Structure 1
Amino acid sequence: MFTKRAFLTLLAICIGGGTAYAQSDPLPSWNDGAVKKSITEFVAKVTTQGGPDYVPPAERIAVFDNDGTLWCEQPIYFEAAFALDRVKAMAAQHLEWKQQQPFKAFLAGDKKALAEQGEKGLLTLVAAAHSGMTTDEFAKSVADWLATAKHPRFNRPYNDLIYQPMVELLAYLRANGFKTFIVSGGGVEFMRVWAEKAYGIPPEQVVGSSGVTQFRLDAAGKPSLLKTAKVQFIDDGPGKPAGINMIIGRRPILAFGNSDGDHQMLQWTMAGSGARFAGIVHHTDAAREYAYDRPSKIGQLDKAWEEAKAKGWTVVDMKQDWKKVFAFEP
């Protein structure tokens, strides 16, 4: 007989996440093994009341790098792809760029001349794409780009290239009382446009690099914030623990990254007292995504990898530990 108790039990399962399978295995896209076990055992330790490693919910802070940790970052950082596309779109309103480097080389497709401009040239292009407009105008430009731009290899929108196992991990942590943050070298206003829909992380829990904004009133007296080309804060390398301290105000107990740009964030997380977790996503799957580490110009993993091996941090082998990389895979 289908009793009221049975009905309420079924209803609770549906409301709580869909299926009994989803409840029994909160990380279905992760292969069983040492890596998955290290995650679930850590969560069990810090959430078991009365246990020696129990951590109150307010202190369950988890931080994640974005590029290469939560979504793909090859062949170039996606925000850089956005910036270059935006410079092309803006060129008609900036005829002077045809005579100014690095714009002249970029717009003409002169790769040699552009390479001669070096990192400074690339930063100039990125700054042009991120400044001279209000914060609202910039957010719209990001949303419009994501709605139309396609990744050169996968031919899918860039925000389709989000790692399904990491989305599950974020949800699993939040279900166990963690507060999840992005701590990325990417631009904070670029990520805030889409991060909540992609990861369930609201704008106020995104820490990133930022430029200076200026308050202004237009002719009608309407206030806005104007994005300038001046850099305010670089949230990369040693800047990551500084950004965590400045914005979050608590030392995390769990941190995930994928490159040497995350090294100091991982070190600082592990230097705290009590139970700690440091994880690294190692890109080993050239078939489903990309394979790279030490020699890569994007997402180089060298020193952080060595310390992870020496100290027993968790290193995720993408090829071995993930059943799928992206949600659109079979």
Structure 2
Amino acid sequence: MFVPRDLQTASCALAIFLIVALAPVVAVAQSDPLPSWNDTAPKATIITFVEKVTKQGSPDFVPEAERIAVFDNDGTLWVEHPSYTQLAFALDRVKMLAPQHPEWRETQPFKAVLDGDMKTLAASGEKGLLELIMTTHAGMTSSDFQKVVSDWLASARDPKFKRPYTELVYQPMVELLAYLRANGFKTFIVSGGGIEFMRPWAEKIYGVPPEQVIGSSIKTEFRMQDDTPTLYRLPEVNFIDDKAGKPVGINQQIGRRPIAAFGNSDGDLQMLQWTTMAGGPARLGVLIHHTDAAREYAYDRDTEFGRLDKALDAAAITGWTVVDMKADWKQVFKD
């Protein structure tokens, strides 16, 4: 097709103008380490902190070996309502194993699970929930349990979003994990959830390898089964990695005090205190506040799962950053 010379010249000029004009915009978009975060105070605080502790010559510079960041899991990295994912797993396990245990039909808290009576189950308290976990998570080798978890996650769906639980991770937090690692941080999950429940999938979903997952555990013992060495899971509590247990778990498994901690509930209070109230170089404490009923959930002080009460009050005193999910995140999930 013939195009007049003047029009060709004008088109070239326009193309050059657009390239020059849009180049800064493209550069800014590419350099944004947290694209799913709105440009509000929490994002600026996080970026400023990272720049301070990674800049050579800065009074707040921290060597790479000491750049430890710890993250709660439930409600901080993925959805924890209407109940913890691991609890949903335990309830499904009760239903699956029930034919082998006819006595459960008359025994609490198993009867409540089989009847769908969540009120009675909740009334059984921590003791009842612990009994469910011990019964459904033990009596097998560690490798067998990992397969059970992986198979369940492949088929289970969240009741609200109708999606696999591993798709209900918070995209802004996945970006934050990657941003910290790109700046020399080692990232750890420190959760009240079961350590062997999280390890099979944490690396694929979060980029956190199994050795950097800290969680609650049940006792295991070494056994030879058919001339094969195994670790067998026993129905006994070994360690509860929640509340005051979190700093203990961090000290036992990491051996260094973190300089950044991220949580969302009172179960993370002591972890944030341990991280931020030690003096020394710059330190960062962040709480994720669930305020977005449209895209996820809105809750804080009045909930059974992920209650944010004492920690929210402490944030105002200590200067921890509180992320308002509705205001500070452009998107919640990847899609």
**Shared fold (TM-score greater than 0.5)?**
yes
Asked whether the 8 Å contact 2:94–2:113 carries over to 1, the reply is no
Q: Secondary structure at the match of 1:292?
A: coil
Alignment of 1:26-65 (within 5 A): 26-65=33-72
Q: Give SS of 2:302's match.
A: coil
Alpha-carbon distance in 2 for matches of 1:36, 1:113: 42
Question: Are the structure 2 counterparts of residues 103 and 175 from structure 1 closer, same or farther at C-alpha, using a change threshold of 3 Å?
Answer: same
Match of 2:229 in 1: 223
Structure 1 SS opposite 2:56: coil
Q: Tell me the residue number matched to 2:190.
A: 183
Residue 180 of structure 1 aligns with an amino acid whose one-letter code is T
Q: Does 2:323 align with 1:312?
A: no
Range that drifts further, 305-314 or 178-187: 305-314
Asked if the contact 2:286–2:320 (Cα under 8 Å) also holds between the matched residues in 1, the reply is yes
In structure 1, what is the Cα distance between the partners aligned to 2:112 and 2:191?
Answer: 29
Q: Could you tell me how far 1:94 is from its partner in structure 2?
A: 2.3
- The 1:114/1:313 distance shift into structure 2, 3 A limit, reads closer
C-alpha separation in 1, matches of 2:121 and 2:318:
42
Matches of 1:102 and 1:276 in 2, distance apart? 43
Q: Which amino acid aligns with 1:243?
A: G
Instruction: Give 1:136 shift.
Output: 0.8
Deviations 1:169-201 (Å, cap 9, x if unpaired)?
000000000000000000000000110011000
User: Displacement, 1:297?
Assistant: 1.0
RMSD, aligned CA? 1.5
Question: Shift of residue 164 of structure 1?
Answer: 0.1
Matched AA of 2:269: H
Cα offset for 1:65? Answer: 0.3
Which residues in structure 2 correspond to 1:79-90 (within 5 Å)?
A: 79-90=86-97
Supply the distance in 1 between the matched residues of 2:277 and 2:168 (Cα, whole angstroms): 32
Letter in 1 for 2:281: G
User: Structure 1: any 5+ residue segments left out of the alignment?
Assistant: 1-18
2:194 alignment partner AA: G
Partner of 1:9: none
Determine which structure has more spread, i.e. the larger CA radius of gyration: 2
CA deviation map 1:218-253 (0-9, x unaligned): 1x2111111111001000011000100000000000
Deviation per residue, 1:89-118 (Å, 9 max, x gap): 111222332343322332233456545534
Partners in 1 of 2:221 and 2:187 — Cα distance?
29
One-letter amino acid matched to 1:87? V
Q: Tell me if 1:194 matches 2:201.
A: yes
Q: Residues 97-146 of structure 1: CA distance to partner in whole angstroms, max 9, x if unpaired?
A: 23433223322334565455343222211211111111111101111111
Please list the CA deviations of residues 15-37 of structure 1 after superposition, one character each: whole Å capped at 9, or x if unmatched: xxxx9666400100000021100
Q: Distance in 2 between matches of 1:97 and 1:237?
A: 31
- Answer with 93-102 or 33-42: which moved more: 93-102
The 1-side partners of 2:117 and 2:57 are apart by 65
| Residue matched to 2:272 | 266
TM-score normalised to the size of structure 2? Answer: 0.89
Q: Quick one: structure 1 residues 110 and 50, their matched pair in 2 at CA, closer, same or farther if it must change by over 3 Å?
A: closer
Q: How does 1:1-330 map to 2 (within 5 A)?
A: 23-111=30-118, 113-218=120-225, 220-272=226-278, 273-328=280-335
Distance change in 2, residues 1:268/1:115 (3 Å): closer
Cα separation, 2, equivalents of 1:308 and 1:123 = 30
* 3-state secondary structure, aligned to 2:256: coil
Q: 1:238 to 1:117 in 2, by over 3 A?
A: closer
Unaligned runs of 5+ in 2: 1-25
Secondary structure of the residue aligned to 2:290 is strand
Q: AA paired with 2:298?
A: A
More off after superposition, 298-307 vs 112-121: 112-121
TM-score by length of 1: 0.90
Secondary structure of 2:293's aligned partner: coil
Q: Which residue in the other structure is 2:15 paired with?
A: none
Identical positions, percent:
66
Residues 84 and 126 of structure 1 are in contact (CA less than 8 Å); yes or no, is this contact kept in structure 2?
Answer: no
